[in-house]
Amino acid sequence: MTSATDSPSTGSSPAPTDGATSSAPSTAGTDSAVTGQVTASGTPRDIATGLDTPWSVVFVADTPVVSERNTGRIVEIGTDGAAREIGVVQGIDQGGEGGLLGLAAEGRSLFVYSTGDDGNRIQRYDLTGDPGSFAMGDPTTVIDGLPSASTHNGGRIAIGPDGLLYAGTGDAGERESAQDVAYLGGKILRLNTDGTIPADNPFPGSPVYSLGHRNVQGLAWTADGTMWASEFGQDTWDELNRIEPGANYGWPVVEGIGGDAQYVDPVQQWNPDDASPSGMAAVGDTLFVANLKGERLRLVQAADPGAGTDLFTGEYGRLRGITAAPDGTLWFTTSNTDGRGDPRDGDDRILAVDLVPAG
């Protein structure tokens, strides 16, 4: 499958298949060495500086690989912090919130979400060479024709504990269509890594895993296999959601906690001035959410998802990408060169902070 329909229809959303459930989690996509609750400790330190709008960071063979939204470049970061270009994604339509967005890795395969002339797409690139000399092969399309616009492009992708590819899409300004399963914007998608549709997806023949989203920005799984998503709201509430297959999260009928039994309420909501949540990482039973407008890292313990702790508020500006590193530290990126921030000397940068058991 190279493309699924992205044409909105006027029909109501079909019900998910009875009994549809997510696959049993494996240790893929999680840090099996980490259990329980953790917290950040100490002062973050620079890993790399001088990046141009970094959007996502993943590790390939323990080597960090970074996407730059505005340049279309993918770079690897050396042990000395230097960025080395391993390839440029062609055919990008960069503008507004579009461009080169999320990355996910499985072995030596790099999955890339970007905005093209005909919509958002996910491509797979096989990497050749060794760390320090990586190069990107030719792209293979996983899915294309996803709704795109100058805003609300989603773009976060991840390999789940079941080994499948998940993607958060934005509504691309088509608010009402977020409720339509035939429209692939405003959704979380679930695909086999070759782009085919898993047989146990909740809507038969569709990549849609959940619907009623405005602009999903972060995807993560805690140690027990629970899936979580962070999401931009409009003017009232940003959201942290616990994701279930086939569930409807309410947008645009509901923003934030609505108490309507037809929709799943977020487990936590925030005023956009304090949040604009972007990337999210899970370490053991703890979630870390990077925030753009709120300029902070937010820690949420999965055992009490309605509460949180703010870290480093205002110290580094806008924060976007975040990931758990192989050495047990937590890495996060600034996004001060994206046109909405105030760049500081050395921006944009990747920072690392130590993690220790909570309590």
Tens digits of residue pLDDT in 251-288: 999 999 999 999 999 999 999 999 999 999 999 999 99
26: pLDDT strictly greater than 50? no
Q: What is the mean pLDDT of the chain?
A: 92
59: pLDDT strictly greater than 70? yes
Per residue in 33-42, pLDDT (tens digit) is 567 999 999 9
Per residue in 157-176, pLDDT (tens digit) is 999 999 999 999 999 999 99
Q: Which two tokens stand for residue 205?
A: 């023949």
Distance (Å) of CA 47 to CA 82, 131, 326: 9, 16, 14
The pTM score is 0.92
Please, are residues 323 and 58 in contact by the beta-carbon 8 Å criterion? Answer: yes
Please, are residues 99 and 151 in contact by the beta-carbon 8 Å criterion? Answer: no
- Please tell me the total number of residues recorded for the chain in this structure: 359
pLDDT of residue 180: 98
How far is Cα 356 from Cα 354, in angstroms, rounded to an integer? Answer: 7
Please, are residues 313 and 329 in contact by the beta-carbon 8 Å criterion? Answer: no
Strand order in the sheet with 216-221: 216-221, 227-231, 238-243, 268-270
77: Cβ contacts below 8 Å, ≥ 6 apart: 47, 48, 63, 64, 65, 66, 83, 84, 350
47: pLDDT strictly greater than 70? yes
204: Cβ contacts below 8 Å, ≥ 6 apart: 17
Side chain identity at residue 317, one-letter code? G
Mean pLDDT for the stretch of residues 194-205: 98
Please, are residues 355 and 39 in contact by the beta-carbon 8 Å criterion? Answer: yes
Query: Using 50, 70 and 90 to split pLDDT, how confident is the model at 11?
Result: very low
pLDDT of residue 24: 30
Mean pLDDT for the stretch of residues 73-81: 98
Q: Domains (ranges, CATH) in the chain? A: 38-357 (2.120.10.30)
pLDDT of residue 15: 57
Q: Which two tokens stand for residue 62?
A: 């323990």
98: Cβ contacts below 8 Å, ≥ 6 apart: 115, 120, 148, 149, 150, 153
Q: What are phi and psi of 169, to 5 degrees?
A: -115, 155
DSSP helix/strand/coil, 102:
strand
